[in-house]
Amino acid sequence: MLLLHGFFRNHRLPVCDSHLVPLASIRIVENYPVPWNKPVKRDCNSMSDYQDVYSWLAETWHVWVVTITLIVAAVIDGLKLKVPNWITFPMIVSGWVYSTALSPYAGWEGLGYSLLGTAVGLALLLPLYAIGGMGAGDVKLLAGVGAWMWGTVTVYAFAVSAIVGGVIAIAMVLWKRAWGKHQAQFFYILDEIATVKDPEKLAKIAAERKPTMFLLPYGIPIAIGSIAYFAWHGMQL
């Protein structure tokens, strides 16, 4: 108690407009090394700081929702090789709700941008899914990005994700020391696409070949590529 008494006696607390700080609030206020028994004036910028934080949250919270959802989806996809519907469907629908009710273009315009973004996300990965080269969960995950972030951002996020996916795929093949096998398999698949041309047949062939392939959980490149694009453009700041 004597130590505490000496500490409070020799420390002066910052207050606004020369008001004394109540004793009950001592523990949550920063300490200044000045006499305890006199009030101190300081700049009261705390309200401005709160307004800055609120403004930042209002502008970026939707990006953080997408970022966190992508991280969760990537972890699950890495563990189970599947992005579950309980992530993708709510992500898409909530993106529509956000765009309609809370976005800068709230109303029909925002909903239109969101629906277009969803369609863009589907269109970018649907061809790969149609021939068995992509899981349905990955397609819906990118559609969810489109629902929240809209078309233009989704296209660029996909472009970065494709690069990340290529780098990860090459690293996985080299790690397994199976470059020759997968290179031959890659050209064989290209030849199938050029000759068969029927998506249903291609999907069936891909399903038969799937157990022999080294699978890449594409939710991981989507998450890394999208988040990297957000960060590069300062969308989370």
pLDDT-derived band at 48, boundaries 50, 70, 90: low
Quick one: which of 167, 159, 142, 125 has its CA closest to 228?
A: 159
What is the C-alpha to C-alpha distance for residues 1 and 9, in angstroms, rounded to an integer? 12
pLDDT digits (tens, 9 = 90+) for 164-196: 999 998 888 888 776 666 667 667 667 776 777
Write down the pTM of the prediction. Answer: 0.72
For helices 136-176 and 179-195, the axis angle rounded to 10 degrees is 140
What is the C-alpha to C-alpha distance for residues 237 and 228, in angstroms, rounded to an integer? 13
Max Cα–Cα distance, the chain, nearest Å = 89
Q: What is the reported pLDDT for 13?
A: 41
The SS3 assignment for 41 reads: strand
